[in-house]
Homo-oligomer: A and B are copies of this chain.
Amino acid sequence: MPRPPGHGPGYEVKRQEIIDQAAALFAKQGYAATGIAELGEVAGLAKGALYYYIGSKENLLVEIQDRVLGPLLTGARSIAALDEDPVLKLRLLSQALLDIILARLDHIWVYEHDYRHLTGSNRSRLLRQRREFEKIVRGLLVAAMDVGAFRRLDPRLAMLQFLNLHNHTYQWARADGPWDAAFLSREYCATLISGFCSDGYDVAGLEKRLAEYRERSSA
């Protein structure tokens, strides 16, 4: 993200504001259908000044993607590194993912819909990061099989089911909807784990173990 050097103190603040507003507009109307002029109106800036902050329209898209993928990967990596039961880690990852989806619905909408408008290295960087996230999910699923919690499943298909169920949520979720991330994560995981687990696995026990973990880690 090369930025022209030498900016005043308010630069980054204003810049982040503009990205917020862009995300909202892109989510509502689509990236392609949103014009720079419209962004300027919302930001209260003329086009020239806008470009001073954003560099280019595609840059905005990159920033929005990063705002999603950055926390997502950070969260996923640290969860993967925990020394805990893989099923519990899946549950944690599920909630982290839903947290981000619900907290930044507009960003997610752009992330899911308009990543195709990225070009060149922006695009390949994005795809690499997406693959890393998928790999972490798959790794946890395989670990759950290895410890005998899950049946032997096709790891890729299991991962895709996990992602299908979570990622499609942005299509219908609303900031003021009835369900929060914790609730949705519990429901989704109940469904997935019932389907994936070995005979006799104690599905209901997971939430208790989650509560224990929370207590432990906050201590």
What residues of chain A have their CB less than 8 Å away from a CB belonging to chain B?
6, 29-30, 32-33, 46, 113, 116-117, 157, 160-161, 163-169, 171-172, 179, 187-188, 190-196
CB-defined contacts of A167 to chain B, threshold 8 Å: 164, 168, 171
Are B195 and A46 closer than 8 Å at their CB atoms?
A: no
- With known contacts A117-B30, A191-B192, A194-B195, A164–B169 Cβ distance under 8 A: yes
Are A187 and B165 closer than 8 Å at their CB atoms?
A: no
Q: Which residue of B lies closest to A28 (CB)?
A: B116
Are A172 and B190 closer than 8 Å at their CB atoms?
A: no
CB-defined contacts of A164 to chain B, threshold 8 Å: 164-169, 171
Copies of this chain present in the complex amount to 4
Q: Provide a sorted-by-A list of 23 A–B residue pairs whose CB atoms are within 8 angstroms.
A: A6-B46, A29-B116, A32-B32, A32-B33, A33-B116, A113-B113, A157-B179, A157-B187, A160-B172, A161-B188, A161-B191, A164-B165, A164-B167, A165-B165, A167-B171, A190-B195, A191-B191, A191-B194, A191-B195, A191-B196, A192-B195, A193-B195, A194-B195
Are A116 and B30 closer than 8 Å at their CB atoms?
A: yes
A193 to B30, CA, bound (A): 35
Interface centre among A6, A32, A167, A193, by most B CB within 10 Å?
A32
Q: Which residue of B lies closest to A114 (CB)?
A: B30
